[in-house]
A and B are shown apart, each in its own frame.
Chain A
C-alpha cells in the first residue's frame, strides 16, 4: 500500500517542474506543456486524496480538470498558431506589446 505522502510528494515535484517550466522556458509549446504538467499534478493530488478519504468527489473534479485541460490546450494552441502566423514568433518573450 503506497502511502498518501508518496502521492503528495510526486504531485509536488510535478507541480514544481511545471511551474519552473512555465517561468523559465520561452517556447510557447513547452510553456503550454508545462501548464499541462501543473494541471496533472493537481489531478494526482485530487485522486490521491479521493482514495484516501474514500470519496468519489475528488475523482469527479479530476475528470473536470482533464476536460478543461483539453479545452485549454485547444485554445492555447489556436492562439499560438495565430501568433505564429501574424508575427512569426515562437517564443513567449517576443510578444510584449501588452503594456503601456
Chain B
C-alpha cells in the first residue's frame, strides 16, 4: 500500500503545485510560487528514489492502478502506472534533472514577468512527462504525450508578445500534430489487434501479429516518435523552440520531452523486434539525423541553436541505437545526454544571463576570465558530449557505435562516426568562440558581466558532476550495471552475445571513437584558437556549402514552399468556397424564409386580424345603440321595472287563466 501511495504521489505532487500556482499564484509572492514549484518536484524526486530503492530490493515489475478510467464494450482503460526498471530510470532522469532545472529557474527567471506562470507550466510539464513515462497503457502515454506537447507550446511561447516566439510555438505544436496523427493511428491499430491498450497484455500477445501488421504499427508509432523527438523530416520545430526561456530549452527541448520518442520506441521494442523493416527505418532515420543535424550545427551562430541542433543529432544517436537493437544503450545515452545537455543549456543560460540576453556567439569570446565557473561547467558538458574518455558521453555514444559495428551495420557506423567527429568539432568551436579568444562582447553588455548567482551555479555543479560520473553505471559496455538493471525490460541483447566479439574489437573501437573525438577537438582548436582567420578563409573558399549549411539546407524554406504555402492557398480556396457557395446557400435559405415571413405577415395583418376586428367593430356598433338604454336616471329604471312588472303579471294571468288580460278588461 505504501508503495502504491509513493507511486501515485510522484505525479500528484507537481499536479497539486500546478493547481495552487495556476489558480492562486497571483495572490502570493514569487517566493511561495517557486517553493511550491521546486518543492513538489524535489519531493517527487525523493519519492522516485524510494521507488528505485524498492525496485532494486525486489526487482519486481509492478502495476499500480489509480482508478478505472474508461470501461465499455471491449475497451477498458485504467489510469494505471507501470513500474519497471525502464520507468525507474526515466523517473529518476525526469524528476532529478527536472528538479535541478527548476532550482536553476529560480535564479534565471528572477524578476521576469509571469514568474508564477512559468513555474505553473513547468510543473504541468513535469506532470505530463511523468504520466508519459509511468503510464501502463497507450492511452495514459498519449495523455502525457499530448500534455508535454501542450506545455512545450506554452513555454516556447512564454514571451508571447514576441512574434517570433509565438510563431515558433505554433510551429512546434503543428509539427508535433503531424507526428501525433501517426501515433494515434498506431494506437488504434494496437487496439484493433489486441482489444486492449495495456502494455503487458499487448506485449505478451505480440507474437500473434503478422510481420506486416507489426511493421505497420511500428511505423505509425515511429511517425509519432519522429515528431516528438525531432528526427528527419519533422525536426524543424526544435531549433525554433529555442525562443523559450533557456531553462525550458534545457528541460523540455533537450533533457526530457524530446526523449519521449526514444522512450516510446524502447517501450515498444517487442513490436519493433518483430518488424525488421521498421527497425532499420528507425536506424537510418536516426543515423541520418545524427549526421545531418550535426552538419548544420557546424556553422550556426546562436549559442542555443547550436545546442538545439546538437540535441537533434544526439537524439539521432538514440534512434540509431534503437534501430540496431541496442535498447539499453539508447536509454543509457538518453540518460547521459539528459545530464550533459541540460548542463550545456544551463551553462549557456548562465552566459546569456551574464550578457543580458545576448545569444550570438559572434558577440561573445573571452568569457573564461569573467565567468570561470560557467566556463568550467560548459567545458565539462562539451567534453562529455564530444565523447572524451571517461566522461558520460564517451561511454554511451561509444556503446551505440560499437554495437552498430559489432552487429554488422557498417554504413550506420560510418554515419555515427562522422557525426561524432562533427559533434566534437562544433561543440569545441562553440566553447572556443564563447569562452576563449578576444572578447567581442558589446560594450553595453560588457559592464553587466557577472557570474550567475549560486542558485544557478548549484544545479550546474550537480549536473557537471553527473556528466562526469554518469557513464560509469554503464561500464563495461553492454554488460554494466545499467544494462543488467534494464535487462528485464529490454533483455533481447544478452551481455554474453556482446562479449563474444569483445575480445579485442571493443577496445579498438573505443580507441577509434576517442581518436575521432580528439581529432574533432584538434580541428576546432586549430581553426578557432591557433588560427582564428582560418575559419573565415574556409568559409570563403566554399561559399556555397557554407551558405547551405548556414541556411540549414533550406529545409524550412522548402517546407514553406512545398507544404505551408500550398496549404495556405488551399485554405484560401476553401475560404472562397465557404464564403461564396456555402454562405450563399445559407443566405438564400435566409432570404426565402424572410420572403415567406413577409407573406405570412400580410396574411395575418389583413385576413386574420381583419376577421377578428369585424367581431370587435360589430360589438362596438351594437354597444353604441344599446348604451342609450342606460340613462342613469333612477326614474327611468323604476319605470322599466314597473313596465316589466305589468308584463309579468299579464303573462302570469295568461298562463293561469288561458285567456288574454286584454280580453278580461274588455269583458
What is the number of contacts between chain A and chain B, taking CB atoms within 8 Å? 27
Chain A residues with CB under 8 Å of B631's CB are 96, 99
Q: Are A96 and B642 in contact (CB under 8 A)?
A: no
Q: How many Å from the CB of A2 to the closest CB on chain B? A: 26
A54 beta carbon closer than 8 Å to chain B: no
Question: Judging by beta carbons under 8 Å apart, are A23 and B638 in contact?
Answer: yes
Roughly how many angstroms separate A19 CA and B632 CA in the complex, as a whole number?
A: 19
Whether the Cβ atoms of B638 and A99 lie closer than 8 Å is no
**Is residue A97 within 8 Å, beta carbon to beta carbon, of the partner chain?**
yes
Question: Is B632 a contact partner of A92 (Cβ separation < 8 A)?
Answer: no
Cross-chain contact A23 with B630 (CB below 8 angstroms): no
Q: Is B633's CB under 8 angstroms from A93's CB? A: yes
- Given A19-B642, A23-B642, A93–B635 Cβ distance below 8 Å? yes
Q: Which residue of the partner chain B has the closest CB to A31?
A: B634
Task: Establish whether residues A96 and B632, one from each chain, have CB atoms under 8 Å apart when the complex forms.
Answer: yes
CB-defined contacts of A93 to chain B, threshold 8 Å: 633-635
Is B639's CB within 8 Å of the partner chain A? yes
B627 at the interface (CB under 8 A from A): yes
Contact A92 B635, beta carbon cutoff 8 Å: yes
Interface pair B642/A100, CB less than 8 Å apart = no
Rounded to whole angstroms, the CA-CA distance of A87 and B634 in the bound complex is 16
- For the complex, give the distance between the alpha carbons of A24 and B636 in Å: 10
Q: Quick check: is A98 within 8 A (CB to CB) of the other chain?
A: yes
Q: Is A22 an interface residue (CB 8 A)?
A: yes
Q: Which residues of A contact B634 (CB under 8 A)?
A: 92-93, 95
Determine how close the nearest CB of chain A comes to the CB of B571; give it in whole angstroms.
75
Distance in angstroms from A87 CB to nearest chain B CB is 13
| Residues B632 and A99 in contact, CB atoms below 8 Å apart | yes
Interface size class of chain B, counting residues whose CB lies under 8 Å from the partner chain:
10 to 19
Cβ contact within 8 Å between A100 and B630: yes
Chain A, Cβ-Cβ closest to B630: A99
Complexed CA–CA distance, A56 and B338 (Å): 128
B607-627 to A contact mask, C-beta < 8 Å, 1/0: 000000000000000000001
Q: Once bound together, how far apart are the Cα atoms of A98 and B637, in whole Å? A: 11
**Complex alpha-carbon distance, A96 and B631, angstroms:** 7
> In the complex the two chains form, what is the Cα distance from A93 to B631 in whole Å?
10
Shortest Cβ gap from A1 to chain B (Å): 28
Contacts of A97 in B (CB 8 A): 632
CB pair B627–A96 under 8 Å, yes or no, is: no
Question: Closest approach, in angstroms, between the C-beta of A28 and any C-beta of chain B?
Answer: 10
Residues of A within 8 A of B639 (CB): 23
B637 to A, closest residue via Cβ: A98
Known contacts A19-B642, A23-B639; decide if A100 and B633 are in contact (CB<8 Å): no
In B33-60, the 8 Å CB interface with A consists of none
Q: Nearest chain-B residue to A92 (Cβ)?
A: B634
Interface residues of A in 52-100 (CB under 8 A from B): 92-93, 95-100
Q: Which residue of B lies closest to A100 (CB)?
A: B627
Closest to A28 in B: B634
* A79 CB to nearest chain B CB (Å): 11
**Chain A residues within an 8 Å CB radius of B635:** 23-24, 92-93
Closest CB-CB distance, B353 to chain A, in whole Å? 96
Question: How many angstroms between the C-alpha atoms of A92 and B638 in the bound complex?
Answer: 12
Question: How far apart are A26's CB and chain B's nearest CB, in angstroms?
Answer: 8
Q: Mark B626-655, 1 if CB is under 8 A from A, else 0.
A: 010011111100110010000000000000
CA distance A100 to B623 in the complex (A): 10
Task: Tell me, in angstroms, the Cα distance from A100 to B630 when the chains sit together.
Answer: 7
Residues of B within 8 A of A96 (CB): 631-633
Q: Bound complex: CA of A23 vs CA of B630, how far in Å? A: 17
- Interface residues in B548-607 (C-beta closer than 8 Å to A): none
A98 touches B632 (CB 8 A): yes
A14 CB, nearest partner CB in chain B, Å: 16
In the docked arrangement, what's the CA distance between A100 and B627, Å?
A: 7
- In the complex, residue of chain A having the shortest beta-carbon distance to the beta carbon of B639: A23
Q: Which residues of B contact A95 (CB under 8 A)?
A: 632, 634
Q: Find the B residue at minimum CB distance from A98.
A: B632
Which chain B residue has the least Cβ–Cβ distance from A26?
B635
**CB-defined contacts of A23 to chain B, threshold 8 Å:** 635, 638-639, 642
Q: Which residue of A lies closest to B634 (CB)?
A: A92
Which chain B positions have C-beta within 8 A of A19?
Answer: 642
Q: Tell me the complex Cα distance, A97–B634, Å.
A: 10
* B626–chain A nearest beta-carbon distance, Å: 9
Q: Give per-residue flags for A14-45: 1 if the beta carbon is below 8 A from chain B beta carbons, else 0.
A: 00000100111000000000000000000000
Closest to B631 in A: A99
Docked complex Cα distance between A96 and B639 (Å): 15
Q: Inside 8 A of B632's CB, which chain A residues have their CB?
A: 95-99
Q: How far is the CB of B472 from chain A (nearest CB, A)?
A: 114
CA gap between A95 and B631 in the complex, in Å = 10
With CB as the reference atom, state the residue of chain B lying closest to A99: B632
- In the bound complex, what is the Cα–Cα distance between A28 and B631 (angstroms)? 18
Which residues of chain A come closer than 8 Å to B630, judged between CB atoms? 98-100
A98 to B627, CA, bound (A): 12
Q: How far does the alpha carbon of A93 sit from the alpha carbon of B627 in the complex, in Å? A: 18
| Nearest CB of B to A63, in Å | 25
- For the complex formed, measure the closest distance between the CB of B95 and the CB atoms of chain A, giving whole angstroms: 94
Measured in the bound complex, the distance between the Cα atoms of B627 and A97 in whole Å is 13
Residues in A neighbouring B642, C-beta threshold 8 A: 19, 23
A24 to B632, CA, bound (A): 16
- CB A35 to nearest CB in B, in angstroms, measures 10
A41 to B627, CA, bound (A): 35
**Can you name 19 A-B residue pairings with CB atoms under 8 Å?**
A19-B642, A23-B635, A23-B638, A23-B639, A23-B642, A24-B635, A92-B633, A92-B634, A92-B635, A93-B635, A95-B634, A96-B631, A96-B633, A98-B632, A99-B627, A99-B631, A99-B632, A100-B627, A100-B630
Seen from chain B, the residues whose Cβ lies within 8 Å of a Cβ on chain A are 627, 630-635, 638-639, 642
**Apart from A92-B633, A99-B627, what 8 extra A-B contacts exist at CB < 8 Å?**
A22-B638, A23-B638, A23-B642, A24-B635, A95-B634, A98-B632, A99-B630, A99-B632
Query: What 4 pairs between A and B have smallest CB-CB spacing?
Result: A99-B632, A96-B632, A99-B630, A100-B627
